[in-house]
Structure 1
Amino acid sequence: MIDLTLLLNRESGDPLYAQLYHYIKKDILNGKLPADSRLPSIRSLSSHLHISRNTVDMAYQQLLAEGYVQSRPRSGLYIMDLKLEALPLSHVVSKNWLENSIQDSPEIRYNFRYGDVDAEHFPFATWRKLSNQSLLQNQMKLFSYGDPLGEPGLRSEIANYLHSSRGVNCSPDQIIIGAGVQYLLGVLSGLIGNVSHGIAMEDPGYDGVRTVFQHKGLNIHPIPLEADGLHIHKLYKSNSRIVYITPSHQFPYGMVMPLAKRMQLLKWATDQNGIIIEDDYDSEFRYVGKPIPSLQSLDTQQRTVYLGTFSKCLLPSLRIAYMVLPHAMVELHRKQDYRLYDQTVSHFQQNTLELFMSNGHWEAHIRKMRKVYRQKQFTLISMIQKMMGAQVTIIGEDAGLHILLRVHNGMDEHKLIATAEKEGVQVYPVSPFWAQPAQAEQSMVQIGFGGLSIEDITEGVYALHRAWFGV
């Protein structure tokens, strides 16, 4: 068994379990901890380092989740063999190809990918405890497919949360749970059927949603943006009766639609006998000003479909999203036999999330993550302003987990990304968000910050400055 001795810094801003996890991971990668050796038991290591068992357990669970160790029943945790030769033959890659790839592709040290979240602050110990509780309470029920709309208890918790946090007016019967917003939009596309006048979308807008609509055979009308969001007059001119929109944090530009324009959009829905699809994908994270009520909460005519997800606040891998339908569409869902569709989210995960919400952990976790992401966002913005100043323009800094950066150095999107990669930094294109990518701004990139540490954000901005301005 390995003897682990290290000094944990209790004054550091990093949690003790994260320090322990990084220490073990580093020693596995550099070979100091040999493959197939056993880690100390949770009890013995917690006693040896004078830390809680929960701290050790959380570090071990993260190592397990990332594949650095494996659990052997009634034996313990063992270091995985990460050498290429240890992989099954079907997964072995040509050594020459691998060496060439390493030479051709620089190592990415700072990945500013939008969609990554801060997994280190996920409450692993609490989630595992509630998972075990769910198993004990619902052993036989968990073997079933579950309610096709989603478990009633979880839908009730979601309804209560949405009402208190976003003003959404709904009953649990109006909520459908599914494995991601794209899946739910596929269901919704079936409900709205043959749309002769097509469906309107913000341009630029979320390309993942545009792809869903295209796969469903819907004709898409791109609607340009104004400084405060969707261009309502252009929406009228499109003759569409359905619009998909991200009013609380426009994707990707980040503007928040003001109350006056929300009322104009609701009037459009009444005038056109239309439907608004409101995607509230990251409304929990707003850093400037007070939150504006959701469109659904202002809609007295039942013309708004409301979408939300747990991917940004918890983990994307949980694959839990929800859709709130107007009453007429709930009835349509029933008549069209959509209840014959099996539920796509694990019965077990739904029950665990229900317990997580009902015991107060969800709102506590949101409060914690707001502080975490606010600090990361502040670090990113202040470092960019300090290093690059007037050489760049920051867009969409009031909310969410990403910004857009317009860079004034003469480089286009492709060149900005390529030069950043040479410095070990990955930033992302914005052109896919336009219906016609050639119409996209040419000197802009997307920068997500959710999955990076404060230190990596700081060092990553230094590297971007070197890449783009040569200093």
Structure 2
Amino acid sequence: MDITFFLNRGMDAPLYLQLYQYFKENIHKGRIQKGMKLPSKRHLASQLSISQTTVERAYEQLAAEGYIVSKPRSGWFADYEESDFPDIPTACTGSIHPEPIENKQLIDFYYGNVDSARFPFSSWRKCMVNVLDRFGPELFHPGHVLGELELRTLITEHLYHSRSVRCLPEQVIIGAGNPVLMQILCKMFAPGSSIGFEDPGYPRTRKIFELNSMKVLPIPVDKEGIYIEKLQEDQPSLVYVTPSHQFPLGTVMSMNRRTQLLKWAAENESYIIEDDYEGEFRYSSLPVPSLQGQDLHNSVIYMGTFSKSLLPSLRISYMILPKPLIEKGREITSLYKQTVSCHSQLTLTEFIKCGEWQRHTNKMRKLYQRKRGILLEAIQSELGRNVKIRGENSGLHLMLDVYSAYLEKELIEKAEEHGVNIYPASPFYQTQPPASTIFLGFTGISEELIREGIGKLRAAWGL
């Protein structure tokens, strides 16, 4: 396979990133089909007059995101399912869960991205090789159904120091992303069980509960967190909360509300699902201890992920069960076996032990804080009093209430006409969605494009 591609050596973007974008775009457009062999590193380096290291970094990025796979002694091949990369329409009010829009001509403020160009691929690759050398043929065997013990132990140690979570390795279940762990969790409770769900809240998680025949009860939230009075009225068997950074509002649950919630759960023998999905990224205040760390009655199911601090495509998350659910959790998990490969788990273990994960997380926290500052400055400069910002003190996105004559759908359409993708807030609400509120993610977009994009929004909305 020969390719004709112009590498712009005058651009700020690294050559490997330009090459990665070329292959990714052609895979999405169907020009590189599943099973097609890519040029060898040596051949492509010679053809484009670049180093083999440049080609290798581009291929490793594509492999990490699930686009290609390396076959021993054969080379690199496109390896994806068409259903993984559907044509994605412009986000609108009626969608259940807005997805990033694949259009390279648009400035995309998608809130689910990370800055993957900063991922330390060479360090990750070194850890992968070390694991292969250390374990060899052992990696061919299925791993422990709960996950590799060494990784589960490291997770318990990290969470104790960083989030005040108290648990043992046997309470930890590793899974290929939170949706898989949510599926396992749903099977631990009887069909028709009621669950209180923050309103607004994450629509994909809500849909998983609904598909598992759970009765989802919308529970409103305010600046302190979920309404305890509504929980007392509805009496659900479970309640799902995001207390460290409420999704999508960005508020932090107050200590008083946390105490009330834990007391309610203990008195009613209900369980709290604490989703700490962005626990590493706070910018304006000290971290608040987890609900799990304050729980004295085994009422909290704690969930976390490496998707935000590493790469979403690695698909490594974890769930910590309270002691009364351990036996049931092990029984259900054994039916799924282990959804994350031993090699990936042990590579992450090595990555954590050598300090690379903490270094990378610290670096990304500083980078995202800088991008956040640029975004806030641009909004203040370009949009001023025409918008209200919400949720800017933590996490990887913020919300904008836009004061204009346009409604949500019109705001999105006008933005696209001016070359900017933004996303609706309404899918996150079960009741009373806002009329003109949009989402802006800032982690997967360059600092220059952040400024340019906000300027385009001012022009698009006539502010």
Taking structure 1 as the reference length, what is the TM-score of the superposition? 0.82
Task: Go from structure 1 to structure 2 and tell me whether the alpha carbon gap of 1:64 and 1:259 turns closer, same or farther (over 3 Å shift).
Answer: closer
CA distance in 1, matches of 2:447, 2:119: 17
**Cα offset for 1:338?**
3.6
Task: Go from structure 1 to structure 2 and tell me whether the alpha carbon gap of 1:133 and 1:431 turns closer, same or farther (over 3 Å shift).
Answer: same
| Counterparts of residues 290-329 of structure 1 (less than 5 Å) | 290-329=286-325
CA distance in 1, matches of 2:74, 2:211: 49
CA distance in 2, matches of 1:233, 1:291: 26
Q: Once the two structures are aligned, what percentage of the paired residues are identical?
A: 44
Task: List alignment gaps of at least 5 residues for structure 2.
Answer: 26-37, 88-101
Give a deviation string over 1:270-322, Cα, whole Å, max 9, x none: 12111110000001000111110000011111110000011111111111110
Q: 1:444 aligns to what?
A: 437
| Counterparts of residues 189-338 of structure 1 (less than 5 Å) | 189-194=186-191, 196=193, 198-334=194-330, 336=331, 338=333
Q: 1:425 aligns to what?
A: 420
Give a deviation string over 1:10-63, Cα, whole Å, max 9, x none: xxxx7xxx5232455689999xxxx9693337xx956xxxxxx86775356347
Q: 1:50 aligns to what?
A: none
Q: 1:357 aligns to what?
A: 352
Amino acid at match of 1:457: I
CA distance in 2, matches of 1:266, 1:67: 40
Matched, 1:453 2:446: yes
Q: 2:153 aligns to what?
A: 156
CA distance in 2, matches of 1:381, 1:415: 23
Give a deviation string over 1:197-232, Cα, whole Å, max 9, x none: x11011010111110110110111101111211111
| Bigger Cα Rg | 1
| Counterparts of residues 396-407 of structure 1 (less than 5 Å) | 396-407=391-402
Look up the SS of the partner of 2:44 in the other structure. Answer: coil
Task: List alignment gaps of at least 5 residues for structure 1.
Answer: 47-52, 81-87, 94-104
Q: Is the 8 A contact 2:174 2:316 kept in 1?
A: yes
Within the candidate set 96, 118, 121, 2:118 is matched to: 121
Task: Go from structure 1 to structure 2 and tell me whether the alpha carbon gap of 1:422 and 1:194 turns closer, same or farther (over 3 Å shift).
Answer: same
**Cα offset for 1:65?**
6.3
What RMSD in Å do the two structures reach over aligned CA positions? 3.4
Taking structure 2 as the reference length, what is the TM-score of the superposition? 0.83
| Counterparts of residues 139-154 of structure 1 (less than 5 Å) | 139-154=136-151
| Counterparts of residues 56-205 of structure 1 (less than 5 Å) | 57-59=56-58, 61-62=60-61, 108-194=105-191, 196=193, 198-205=194-201
Matched, 1:342 2:341: no
CA distance in 2, matches of 1:152, 1:433: 36
**Cα offset for 1:251?**
0.4
CA distance in 2, matches of 1:119, 1:7: 21
Q: Is the 8 A contact 2:17 2:117 kept in 1?
A: no
Task: Go from structure 1 to structure 2 and tell me whether the alpha carbon gap of 1:286 and 1:68 turns closer, same or farther (over 3 Å shift).
Answer: closer
Task: Go from structure 1 to structure 2 and tell me whether the alpha carbon gap of 1:66 and 1:216 turns closer, same or farther (over 3 Å shift).
Answer: closer
Give a deviation string over 1:121-170, Cα, whole Å, max 9, x none: 11100111111111122221211221110111111111111111111001
Q: Is the 8 A contact 1:127 1:356 kept in 2?
A: yes
Within the candidate set 26, 32, 40, 2:45 is matched to: 40
Look up the SS of the partner of 1:368 in the other structure. Answer: helix
Give a deviation string over 1:426-453, Cα, whole Å, max 9, x none: 11111111124xx200110111112111
**Cα offset for 1:458?**
1.3
Amino acid at match of 2:275: D
Give a deviation string over 1:57-91, Cα, whole Å, max 9, x none: 5356347768999989889999x9xxxxxxx9xx9
Look up the SS of the partner of 2:389 in the other structure. Answer: strand
**Cα offset for 1:332?**
2.4
CA distance in 2, matches of 1:69, 1:221: 41
**Cα offset for 1:239?**
1.4
CA distance in 2, matches of 1:148, 1:77: 31
**Cα offset for 1:419?**
0.6
User: How many residues get paired?
Assistant: 427
**Cα offset for 1:360?**
1.0
Task: Go from structure 1 to structure 2 and tell me whether the alpha carbon gap of 1:454 and 1:192 turns closer, same or farther (over 3 Å shift).
Answer: same
Q: Is the 8 A contact 1:54 1:125 kept in 2?
A: no
Q: Is the 8 A contact 1:39 1:76 kept in 2?
A: no
CA distance in 2, matches of 1:417, 1:67: 29
Give a deviation string over 1:98-122, Cα, whole Å, max 9, x none: xxxxxxx986421111111110011
Q: Is the 8 A contact 2:9 2:15 kept in 1?
A: no
CA distance in 2, matches of 1:299, 1:440: 33
